[in-house]
Structure 1
Amino acid sequence: MPIAVPLSSYAHVPETQEALDWADLPTIDLSLNATPEGRAQLAETLIDALRTKGFFYVTNFGISQAEVDSQFAIGDQFYGLPLAEKLQYVPDLENGEYNGYRPAGRRVLSSGVPDRVEVYNIPKPEVPQAFPPLIESHLPEIRGFQEKLHEHVLTPLLTLIATALELPPDALTNLHQWGKRAEDHLRYMKYNRHPAEDYERLEEGDGLYVTGHTDLGTLTLLFRQPVAGLQIRDHDTGAWKWAKPLDASLTVNACDALSFLTGGYVRSTIHRVHVPPRDQRDVDRLGLLYFARPNQGVVLKTLASPVLAREGFTANDFERAGKPAPTIDEFTVAKQTWQQSKSSVFRAKDGQEIVPGFKGQYHD
C-alpha cells in the first residue's frame, strides 16, 4: 500500500456579498430519522421537496467537516498536478466512458468562449480504474468516504422515498446496493477562473459555465460550495434561482433515473452553473460531488407503487412511447456520449435522440 501523500489544509473562500435571488429550499434533517414519528415526517417532507422543488438540503448526515475538507484537499492537490500527468488518466470520452480525468476545453460556451472546467471521477471499488499516485495513496480514505455517503446519506434518503411511495422500505435500496457494481462515482470538479475579457464575452451571451441540464442518475449529492454558481429552475414558474451554500449541508437533486422509476411523479431537476458574482471571479470554484445511480443491469421501468397508481404515474417516457426501457448502464453510456463528445459548436447536439424514446436537451 503506497504511503499517503501529505495534504495541504484546505480553506474555503468567503461567500459572496452580492444580493442574489436565492432559492427557498426545504431541509431534510436526518437526525429526525431516529424515531418512527421523525421518519414519517421526513418522508412527507422529502417527497414534497422532490415534487415541488427537485432540490433540497440535507443536514446532520453523520460525516464530519474535517472528513469533507480532507476530500476538498485531495481534489485541490489533484488539480495542482502537471497537466501531462492528469492527461494519462483520460478515459474514452467520445464513447461514453467518464471515470478518470476530463480536461478543460472540450466544450464551447456562449460567445465562442472555450470552457475551463476540469472533472475527475472516482467510481465504486467494483469498477476497475487506474489512479495517479496521489489518488492511489489516499484511496482507503476515499473509499471510506464513498461508503459513508452511501450508508449515511443515500440509504436513508432512498428508504424515505420508498416509504412515501408506499413501497417496502428496501424497494429502492435493493436497486442501489453498495457491494454491487454500479455507475456511482465521487467527483472532484474544478471551474477554473476566466480572464476578465472572457467574462465580458460570456455576459454578452448567456453568462453560463454549464447550460441548463438534468443529471442522469438517481440523486446527486453536492457538498457546500461557497463560490456561488449553481442555479435551479423552478418546476412551476420556470424562474431561475441561486442555490445558497448552507453551512454543514449537502445540496441534493433528483435525476433522470429517479424520474423514470417513478413514471415522472418525481421530475428530474433542471439546473445550470452561472459565472460567479463579481466579488468571486478572482478564485477557482472547486466542487465535491457524489452521483448515485442504480446497480448495473437495473431496468429503468416504472415501479409498481400504490401512490403512483393512484396518481396516474404508471408509465415513463420510454413506456409511453412504446419503447423498451433501457438498463441504467445502457442509458448512462448513451447520455454520457451525448454530453461528453467534443464539440466546437455551442449546443450542437440539442434535441438529439440518444436512446429510443429519450432526447438529450439543454434548458433555458
Structure 2
Amino acid sequence: MPVPVPQFGTFNYVPETKEELDWAELVTVDLGQLGTPEGKKQQADILISAVREKGFFYVKNFGISQARVDRQFALGKDFYELPLEEKLKYVPQGLDEGQFNGYVPAGRRFIDQELKIKDQIEIYNIPKFNGDFAHNHPAVVADRLAEVEEFARSLHTEVLDPLFVLLAIALELPEDYFTQIHQYQVKSEDHLRYMRYSKYPPEINAKLKNWSYGHTDLGSFTLLFRQPVAALQIKYPSTNEWKWVKPQDATLTVNACDALQFLTAGYVKSTIHRVTVPPKDQQHVDRLGLLYFSRPHNDVKLATIQDSPVLQREGYVQNEFEESGNPVPTMEEWTFAKQKWQRTKAGSVKKDHATATILPGFNEKIHA
C-alpha cells in the first residue's frame, strides 16, 4: 500500500527547551482591548514603553488563527525541502546590489572569519500583492499563492494597522498618521519571509558564538511568528545586556526598526538583535522562521516628524541625517542602500564592513 502523504497544513513544532535561560522581560500588547478610547490609550502606553526601553514586545488577540499560521509554516517547510537546484532558479538578479525578493541561498557570508565558518541561513521573500511586483514562484508556492496573499494582507489589517494607530496615539498624532504612510496598495518594500537556519554539527556549534551577528531591521515593524527553537536574543539599550526571547503561545513577537527610529529622531529605538546558538537540547533541528517586514511607502522621506507634541516636548527633533546636514533619504533609498550592505558577499564580521557608511550621515555599528 502507498504511504499516506501528509496534507499541506500539517506542521510539527519541536518541544521547547528545558534549559534555564536568561529570558528578556517583555510586555504584551493586547489588540483585543482597542474597542474603547481608554483601552487604546492603555495599550498605546504599553507599546511606547516597549519600543523605547526594550524594542521587542509580544502581541496577542490579533485575529489570525493558529491553523492559518501553521499552514504558512508548512508551506515554508515544503519550500525548503525542494532540491537546491530548484530553489536557485529564484535567486533575484542584482542580489549583491540590494535586491531581495525571491531566494537568498546560504553560505554567502562568514559568521566566523577566523575559523572560516559560513552561515547556513536561507531566505525566501515574497513581496506585496499590489500590482507593483512580479510574482514568479516554484509550484509549491505558486499553487498556494492566493492563500499566501490573503495571509499577507491580513497581517496589515489585523496587526500592523492597529499597532500604527497605537503608536500615533502615543505620539499624540492623528490616529491615521502612520497607517497613511503604510497602505498596502501603495508601493513599498514590505515582504513575507520564510527563513531557515539549518543546523550545524555539534562540533561546529561548540566553536560558534552566534548564528548571525547583532543587527537592526531597516523598516518599521517586524512581525515574528512563534516557533519554539530558542535562539533569538535582544540587546537591552539601557544596559547593553543580551537576553533570550522566549516563545510565547498564541502571540506574535514584534520589534521596532530603523525607519521608526529615523522618523522619531531616536525616540523609538531600532532593536538590536541576533540569532545565537540554540540550547543543546534544540541543536539537532533546523530553525524555521515565518516573518513579515513592514516598511513605509517608498517615497516617504525619513525626516523627523515635526507634528508630534511628544517629540517636541522631549527634544527629539533631528535624526542623524538632519544633524549632519546630509540629504534625508526616502524609504526606497534607505532600503536599497542598507540591503546592498546586508547582501554583499564581502559582508562579514570584518570591522571595515561592520562600520561602513550606508548613506552619508549614517554609519553602521558593531553589535556583536
Look up the match of 2:280: 278
Cα distance, 1:280 vs. partner? 0.3
Look up the match of 2:334: 331
Structure 1: where are the runs of 5+ without partners? none
1:56 is paired with a residue whose SS is strand
Task: Letter of the 2:67 partner, please give it.
Answer: A
Q: Distance in 2 between matches of 1:8 and 1:70?
A: 4
Q: Distance in 1 between matches of 2:102 and 2:144?
A: 15
Given that residues 260 and 301 in structure 1 are in contact (C-alpha distance below 8 angstroms), is that contact kept between their aligned partners in structure 2? yes
**Counterpart mapping for 1:232-271 below 5 A:** 232-271=234-273
Look up the match of 1:311: 314
Q: Distance in 2 between matches of 1:36 and 1:155?
A: 16
1:299 is paired with a residue whose SS is coil
Cα distance, 1:8 vs. partner? 5.6
Task: Letter of the 2:251 partner, please give it.
Answer: S
1:351 is the counterpart of 2:352: no
Q: Distance in 2 between matches of 1:167 and 1:270?
A: 26
Given candidates 122, 133, 154, the residue that maps to 1:127 is 133
Look up the match of 1:38: 39
Look up the match of 2:85: 84
Cα distance, 1:56 vs. partner? 0.3
Given that residues 216 and 272 in structure 2 are in contact (C-alpha distance below 8 angstroms), is that contact kept between their aligned partners in structure 1? yes
Q: Distance in 2 between matches of 1:151 and 1:50?
A: 21
- Calculate the TM-score normalised by the size of structure 1: 0.96
Q: Distance in 1 between matches of 2:163 and 2:138?
A: 33
Given that residues 113 and 201 in structure 1 are in contact (C-alpha distance below 8 angstroms), is that contact kept between their aligned partners in structure 2? no
Q: Distance in 2 between matches of 1:88 and 1:263?
A: 41
Q: 1:8 to 1:55 in 2, by over 3 A?
A: closer
Q: Distance in 2 between matches of 1:190 and 1:326?
A: 32
Task: Letter of the 2:198 partner, please give it.
Answer: N
Look up the match of 2:3: none
- Calculate the TM-score normalised by the size of structure 2: 0.95
Cα distance, 1:311 vs. partner? 0.4
Given candidates 340, 344, 357, the residue that maps to 2:343 is 340
Look up the match of 1:66: 67
Given that residues 351 and 360 in structure 1 are in contact (C-alpha distance below 8 angstroms), is that contact kept between their aligned partners in structure 2? yes
Deviations 1:122-147 (A, max 9, x none): 01013223111111111100000001
Q: Distance in 1 between matches of 2:366 and 2:87?
A: 29
Cα distance, 1:87 vs. partner? 0.2
Task: Letter of the 1:115 partner, please give it.
Answer: D
Q: Distance in 2 between matches of 1:243 and 1:172?
A: 27
Q: Distance in 2 between matches of 1:193 and 1:345?
A: 20
Cα distance, 1:234 vs. partner? 0.5
Q: Distance in 2 between matches of 1:172 and 1:261?
A: 10
Given that residues 266 and 319 in structure 2 are in contact (C-alpha distance below 8 angstroms), is that contact kept between their aligned partners in structure 1? yes
Structure 2: where are the runs of 5+ without partners? 1-5
**Counterpart mapping for 1:8-157 below 5 A:** 9-91=10-92, 92-110=94-112, 111-125=115-129, 126-157=132-163
1:192 is the counterpart of 2:195: no
1:201 is paired with a residue whose SS is coil
1:211 is paired with a residue whose SS is strand
Deviations 1:85-141 (A, max 9, x none): 100000121010000000000010123211111000001013223111111111100
Given that residues 265 and 316 in structure 2 are in contact (C-alpha distance below 8 angstroms), is that contact kept between their aligned partners in structure 1? yes
Q: Distance in 2 between matches of 1:361 and 1:235?
A: 14
Given that residues 9 and 72 in structure 2 are in contact (C-alpha distance below 8 angstroms), is that contact kept between their aligned partners in structure 1? no
Cα distance, 1:346 vs. partner? 3.1
Cα distance, 1:344 vs. partner? 7.3
Given that residues 185 and 292 in structure 1 are in contact (C-alpha distance below 8 angstroms), is that contact kept between their aligned partners in structure 2? yes
- Comparing 73-82 and 192-201, the one that deviates more: 192-201
Same amino acid, percent of matched pairs: 55
Cα distance, 1:361 vs. partner? 2.6
- Comparing 347-356 and 235-244, the one that deviates more: 347-356
Q: Distance in 2 between matches of 1:330 and 1:6?
A: 42
Given that residues 182 and 294 in structure 1 are in contact (C-alpha distance below 8 angstroms), is that contact kept between their aligned partners in structure 2? yes
Cα distance, 1:359 vs. partner? 1.2
Q: Distance in 1 between matches of 2:137 and 2:7?
A: 17
Cα distance, 1:6 vs. partner? 5.3
State the number of aligned residues: 356
